[in-house]
Structure 1
């Protein structure tokens, strides 16, 4: 079967790889000059199934009001004239109940756990290297109130069988020695030893090379201009490089997927939530993080990637714009210098922003569309790197007529039909 994959981020490239492995003839097109040059380029670097939770939860509406007033708050709202923004926000608020949170999390954890296992298998078979570390992640609490409030999360971890450790300050320092320089600034942490870290862009580039060697064609600098349909099927994709035809098509355009799905008459509630990161060269390894430290107060991830520190965070709802905001950079700098002073050269830090494709309920959208030969792999939000390999493997199985290793039926777009 000839398959055309739209998008060469980590989702598109992993999808292409597993489709090729399943025996299909695969072509990937992307408007950029190479793979992973948009949202996958400089994310926080976490492969964290243990943190796979919906943003929409019972306490979020009240917390959001507080975050919006904080100087270094994790949430930023910039109203626009795009009514899709407000529709998405309303749907998210509808999911801020205990019952919906539990349901949505139950859909997210299995695909995230499965994805980590698929990544491990891929790594063992290909020896792919991407500055990976398998040293877990540490959620760091600056206040006793934060630490006392983890009971619900711990219960979910127990129910889903995810290994965890609740640590006092000395326990946190034992796994992250760099925190010893600021031991008075936190009261404890929640460690997930099974989580991993790694450079998403490096992984995607190298997997694209492996896929190319296996016969996948990657065509860059190609912009989609139209999608043709007939008889309930996609009949071709018009681009700046001409028309592409295939037997089946995969929509993996991240935050831009909903734009095309609306044109195709099947709207999906995916909206861009802007994130920021800085990448800081390490100057004192003893002061730097060993893996990922999640600064719970500011919702910022501080990750060791080889000889660099990646600091990522902020949820800015402001539509489709990629403007860099110095205030967001200040928040990232504040968090990393407060917890790991002297670890990196802030003066040499690079600043980046990207659009996370978020669903209002949390789980990604993986599966068949209303068109017989169009499939979706999008809406992963902040968990694209975490869920990429598992999502791709599941979709490749669905498209190949095989039963996936896990039940992903609740992840399809049909859950929004009502």
Structure 2
């Protein structure tokens, strides 16, 4: 049982693997081929445009946006190149060595991102053999090719202020329709019936709860410090995409919400001489929403599953405020791990490779050739008269200014806050509504 959190030293940068592209939008693609003269060089290009229908594709009348700064970051997180979108909203970085990169949109002073691009489609990779936690960084890529990717989870979250996750995420967990507790050999999953009444909404997209499970110690670290445990709520989109909510756990008071789960684990271990069955029926109604802290500050980023197949493209949300479990409950989980000959089930921290938290950025690995189709689009459906409305949110003197509405006509973004009211004279019925809110 842990009574103090563990400090984690940063990992050495891993060797670069030549793997397939993984990005925050399904419209990124590998194109072209490298010549013998430039076998290790490639290019990355894309467009910034008014994505009015939020489909990630530049459609007719969706104008490109000129004058926006785009940065290119290497695997150390350093900006190695910067450019601005041209008259048509396009940008390009040439002569790039093979390796992982992050393409980052730089918000103009005073502007706030209102609609990050979360992935809703995902195809899980293969697991070609057994695995364990003895040497994950070396062993897992041998049986799970996706584990050799450059944008893996978990990660150390550091040097990034938390953000209000409720701007992008809402949770609708009724607690109904629990089905079984499944012993995976590495953790126990509390599984829910397909089509159950538990889901989350991520930027307007529904993800249904599949299961939740625990890790000892935590998998994510905050400023190089691990928590005692971590619970993951795994949610799936109808198109296969995964969004995972991570709650850090510290030793403290008994967690009454989770007590039925851990009481069942303890009872099964006692009844089976320290072993745990492969599955146990479990239909208790848990007040899952009450587990989440009232303060929804945290971080989101694009990463991977933390167990094989370790497929990338997972939307991660990690809450800053930990929840509590008692020493006895943590002991029960350690007893469960011991029944599977484990002392821990947390994957080592993975390199960020330039990823930014709480931002709209794209992640790509190139191995020669070109990567294109990295789209930076931004729009919100305000539901006014059934029209798709282009929306911005700016901050002026600490107050939020919302619903800067330019109608359903695509228009170039204002170049400065002072120019917002003019907006080049475009838009049907410019409307401004002031909403004074608490400053982030």
Q: Give the TM interval when normalised to the shorter protein.
A: under 0.3
Normalising to structure 1: TM-score of the pair?
0.24
TM-score, scaled relative to structure 2: 0.23
